Copies of this chain bind each other. A is one copy, B any other.
Amino acid sequence: MNLTFNSQGFQMDGRDAFLVSGEFHYFRVPQADWKRRMELFKEAGGNVIATYVPWLIHEPEEGTILFGDVPNRDLRAFLETAREVGLGVVLRPGPYQYSELINDGLPEWLVRDYPEVLAKNPAGEAFRYSSVSYLHPTFLEKARPYFKAFADVVRDFMGDPVVMLQVDNEATGIHIWFGSFDYNPETMGFGKPQGRYPAYLRHQYGSIAALNAAYGTDYADFCDLPVPDPDGMNRKNPAHARILRDYQNFYYATIGEYLTLLRSWLREDGLEAPICHNAASPDAAAYFVKTAEKMGDGFLLGTDHYYTLNQTWKQNNPTPQHAVRCFVSMETLRLMGMPPAVLEMPGGSPSDTPPILPEDLLAWYRTHVAFGMKGVNYYIYTGGPNFPGTGSTADIYDYNALVRADGSLNATYTAAHDIGNFMASHPWLQRAERKTAVQVGYDWEGLYADEYAPRGGTNEPAHKFLHKGVVHTLLCSRYAPELALLSGELDTAKPLIVPTDRYMAKATQQKLVDFVKAGGKLMLLGPIPAMDEAFMPCTILRDYMGVTASTNPPASDKPVTFENGQKVYQMRVVERLESLPADSELMAADGQTGKPVGIRKEETGTLLWFGLQWDMCLFVQAQTMERLLASLGAKPTVAASNRNLFTSLLAAPDGRQVLFIMNLYSGAQSTEISLFDGDTEKTLGSFDLAPMEVRIVEL
Interface residues of A (CB under 8 A from B): 102-103, 128-130, 310-312, 314-317, 319-321, 350-355, 357-360, 391-395, 468, 472, 476, 554-558, 567, 569-570, 615-619, 643-644, 665-669, 690-692
Report which of B311, B321, B555, B690 forms a contact with A311, defined as CB distance below 8 A. Answer: B321
A472 touches B102 (CB 8 A): no
- Residues of B close to A666: CB separation below 8 A: 316-317, 357, 359-360, 665-666, 691-692
- Residues of B close to A476: CB separation below 8 A: 353
In the complex, what's the smallest C-beta–C-beta distance from A200 to chain B, in angstroms?
32
A393 touches B129 (CB 8 A): no
- Residues of B close to A316: CB separation below 8 A: 315, 319-321, 665-666
B102 touches A557 (CB 8 A): yes
A617 touches B351 (CB 8 A): yes
A554 touches B321 (CB 8 A): no
Report which of B310, B319, B569 forms a contact with A391, defined as CB distance below 8 A. Answer: B569
- Residues of B close to A103: CB separation below 8 A: 557
A667 touches B644 (CB 8 A): no
A669 touches B468 (CB 8 A): no
B644 touches A557 (CB 8 A): no
- Residues of B close to A310: CB separation below 8 A: 615, 617
In the complex, what's the smallest C-beta–C-beta distance from A309 to chain B, in angstroms?
9
Report which of B129, B353, B355, B669 forms a contact with A616, defined as CB distance below 8 A. Answer: B353
What are the 7 closest A-B residue pairs judged by CB atoms, nearest first? A357-B667, A351-B617, A666-B666, A359-B667, A392-B557, A691-B691, A317-B666
Contacts A317-B666, A353-B643, A357-B665 given; 17 further ones with Cβ under 8 A? A102-B558, A103-B557, A311-B468, A311-B472, A311-B617, A312-B615, A316-B665, A320-B353, A352-B618, A352-B619, A354-B665, A357-B667, A357-B668, A359-B666, A360-B665, A360-B667, A690-B691
- Residues of B close to A357: CB separation below 8 A: 665-669
- Residues of B close to A315: CB separation below 8 A: 314-316
CA distance A274 to B653 in the complex (A): 71
Q: Which of A312, A394, A557 has the most CB of B within 10 A?
A: A557
Number of copies: 2
User: Mind listing 18 A-B residue pairs with CB under 8 Å?
Assistant: A311-B468, A311-B615, A311-B616, A316-B665, A320-B353, A320-B354, A352-B643, A354-B644, A355-B669, A357-B668, A359-B667, A391-B569, A392-B557, A392-B558, A395-B567, A665-B666, A667-B691, A691-B691
B353 touches A570 (CB 8 A): no
In the complex, what's the smallest C-beta–C-beta distance from A237 to chain B, in angstroms?
18
In the complex, what's the smallest C-beta–C-beta distance from A548 to chain B, in angstroms?
27
- Residues of B close to A619: CB separation below 8 A: 352-353
Closest B-chain residue to A468, C-beta based? B311
A359 touches B691 (CB 8 A): yes
In the complex, what's the smallest C-beta–C-beta distance from A311 to chain B, in angstroms?
5
A569 touches B692 (CB 8 A): no
Q: Given A357-B667, A644-B353, do A314 and B311 touch, yes or no (CB 8 Å)? A: no
CA distance A555 to B174 in the complex (A): 14
Closest B-chain residue to A352, C-beta based? B619
CA distance A129 to B312 in the complex (A): 35
B556 touches A129 (CB 8 A): yes
B128 touches A355 (CB 8 A): no
- Residues of B close to A618: CB separation below 8 A: 351-352, 393-394
- Residues of B close to A353: CB separation below 8 A: 320, 476, 616-617, 619, 643-644
CA distance A558 to B112 in the complex (A): 14
A569 touches B394 (CB 8 A): yes
CA distance A312 to B314 in the complex (A): 10
Report which of B317, B359, B393, B616 forms a contact with A569, defined as CB distance below 8 A. Answer: B393
CA distance A690 to B359 in the complex (A): 11
- Residues of B close to A321: CB separation below 8 A: 311, 316
A312 touches B468 (CB 8 A): yes
- Residues of B close to A352: CB separation below 8 A: 617-619, 643-644
A554 touches B393 (CB 8 A): no
Closest B-chain residue to A691, C-beta based? B691
In the complex, what's the smallest C-beta–C-beta distance from A108 to chain B, in angstroms?
11
In the complex, what's the smallest C-beta–C-beta distance from A89 to chain B, in angstroms?
28
- Residues of B close to A555: CB separation below 8 A: 128-129
In the complex, what's the smallest C-beta–C-beta distance from A572 to chain B, in angstroms?
12
Q: Given A310-B617, A393-B570, do A667 and B643 touch, yes or no (CB 8 Å)? A: no
In the complex, what's the smallest C-beta–C-beta distance from A671 to chain B, in angstroms?
12
Q: Given A319-B316, A557-B103, do A617 and B350 touch, yes or no (CB 8 Å)? A: yes
CA distance A468 to B312 in the complex (A): 8
CA distance A147 to B316 in the complex (A): 46
In the complex, what's the smallest C-beta–C-beta distance from A193 to chain B, in angstroms?
36
- Residues of B close to A690: CB separation below 8 A: 691
- Residues of B close to A350: CB separation below 8 A: 617
- Residues of B close to A667: CB separation below 8 A: 317, 355, 357-360, 691-692
In the complex, what's the smallest C-beta–C-beta distance from A455 to chain B, in angstroms?
20
Closest B-chain residue to A317, C-beta based? B666
In the complex, what's the smallest C-beta–C-beta distance from A391 to chain B, in angstroms?
7
CA distance A352 to B645 in the complex (A): 12
Closest B-chain residue to A464, C-beta based? B312
CA distance A555 to B178 in the complex (A): 11
- Residues of B close to A669: CB separation below 8 A: 355, 357
CA distance A34 to B617 in the complex (A): 29
Closest B-chain residue to A619, C-beta based? B352
- Residues of B close to A312: CB separation below 8 A: 468, 615
- Residues of B close to A351: CB separation below 8 A: 617-618
Q: Which of A314, A644, A667 has the most CB of B within 10 A?
A: A667
